[in-house]
A and B are shown apart, each in its own frame.
Chain A
């Protein structure tokens, strides 16, 4: 009897320990997502298709990222040579025809980038999600055939973010966000983000094709497609300078 009690006690302890190891906290999940999706340094070539009520326009760009800084250059015919330099919270714009370099006011970071459903802040955000939002796990469900944690993030006090609240479906195995709902402070659903293609590149899962759907306006979405990405690109510090904007 004593042996049986010991066995039961041991088994219970072992199960509890295994359970603790398996259940991750919201913070751990978001940190793992950040490890995959946050870009410390990268060279990205991408295409953005803005689609609304039967009309469509296309933008192509190359972005260099290092820490808080990024440099984006558009290569499609209409915007060819237009460049954005982000240094911390400062944003500079280079107009190729005029060769003017103008600092863009901070409020513009929340506006749609080049008419898309992505804001400048969405594209150029350099902070990790874990630094901007407080998260809690609200559920777990299958999405597009993948087991996902559902996390709700609320903007931290004083965090400068485009969306006050975001509900994220994060792949429980690959730790990549597959779907996200983005809400205004008042609770209104503004946009929904869907990842339609992912790939493991240089040891991390990354969204290669994503769609941002505007939920305030019917039939409006922007498709963002990564054509190539290099997480190990060596980008010199002087890349992120006003001088480099002039090229």
Chain B
């Protein structure tokens, strides 16, 4: 259960405030032999309005050599980056925050190969057309690195506002270089009829953690993301009204735990060309008895708002300059 008070500072100087309430329910079904099922639903409300969102409703059958998952399910190819330009659904996760695009009605076939390798084939129904997004992914361990290669065929209309049928291919790697964690991905995007200009996207980053004074933990992560115009907005999870310009970005995260219960951090995203930026400091503390208290600020400069969540309009113009969220979450 989560209750969040949100205050949005508009460029006119006005502050819009709302209360969001969310109940996330997960139903655990007993596993019968080789078959398992899962049902997760979010019920949320703002003021007098309420709605629901089904995160997963699927059946998984484990056959001798392959696993089949049918139904609504999250499909993500996260590999540890803040921005993943080679994901199954672009923009499905930014800095660990999920978007609705991650949850899809799909069939997934998974063939495990050894302990760390596997092949998955996915077909996902588009919510907007009758077309199917098809994908193939191979994941394996490669000299201590977690490596994956994938291909996605994305028919026109799968992404609202996009008219082209796109093919995407990418590889990702994550491993260690001495005391550093390093990762990277590179992907190619091209239109099916090859009329448009192909784009190349990628990310390269590193993470590091250290303990100060014997118990205070610091975690650092920084990455460079290349965002070609053809697909930049999609990679950042922007909506169809957002500008689709090609501009590279530096994304970084610093997290500091002063004690066992509290976490302070800052997420920063800066576009290298325009200097547009978003800075999001946050504080999270475990109050005990399964209560988690979070305060998150968002300061926005320029037009990069869609990266970070809700688009706020005032008289038809995108205007938000800052967001303050205060949440209380109870798990049971």
Binding site for B on A (CB under 8 A): 50, 52-53, 55-57, 77-78, 80, 87, 89-90, 92, 97-100, 102-108, 110-112, 115-117, 184, 188, 190, 214-217, 220, 237-238, 240-243, 246-247
> Which B residues between 76 and 135 are near A, CB-CB below 8 angstroms?
76, 78-80, 93, 96, 98, 102, 110, 112, 114-118
Q: Measured between alpha carbons, how far is A210 from B209 in the docked complex, in Å?
A: 27
Q: Measured between alpha carbons, how far is A18 from B153 in the docked complex, in Å?
A: 79
A217 engages B215 (CB within 8 Å): yes
A247 engages B36 (CB within 8 Å): yes
Which listed residue, B74, B207, B215, B331, touches A112 by the CB 8 Å rule?
A: B215
The residues of A that contact B175 with a CB separation of less than 8 Å are 103
B214 engages A98 (CB within 8 Å): no
Assess A111 versus B215: contact at CB under 8 Å? Given A52-B261, A105-B176, A243-B112. no
Assess A115 versus B261: contact at CB under 8 Å? Given A100-B78, A105-B207. yes
Q: Measured between alpha carbons, how far is A33 from B53 in the docked complex, in Å?
A: 53
Q: Interface SS of chain B: helix, strand, loop or mixed?
A: strand
Q: How many inter-chain residue pairs (CB < 8 Å) link A and B?
A: 131
**10 interchain residue pairs of minimum CB distance:** A105-B181, A216-B214, A243-B112, A241-B115, A103-B146, A77-B331, A100-B78, A106-B176, A115-B260, A78-B331
The residues of B that contact A107 with a CB separation of less than 8 Å are 176, 179-181, 207-210
Of all chain B residues, the one with the shortest Cβ separation from A56 is B288
Q: Measured between alpha carbons, how far is A68 from B243 in the docked complex, in Å?
A: 50
12 more contacts with CB within 8 A, not counting A115-B260, A116-B260, A215-B214, are A78-B331, A98-B96, A98-B98, A103-B175, A105-B208, A107-B208, A214-B214, A241-B112, A241-B115, A242-B117, A246-B110, A247-B36
Of all chain A residues, the one with the shortest Cβ separation from B139 is A242
Q: Measured between alpha carbons, how far is A216 from B79 in the docked complex, in Å?
A: 34
Interface residues on B, range: 35 or more
B215 engages A214 (CB within 8 Å): yes
In the assembled complex, how far is the CB of residue B245 from the closest CB belonging to chain A, in whole angstroms? 29
Assess A242 versus B215: contact at CB under 8 Å? Given A98-B74, A107-B208. no
A242 engages B116 (CB within 8 Å): yes
The residues of A that contact B260 with a CB separation of less than 8 Å are 50, 52, 55, 57, 112, 115-117, 220
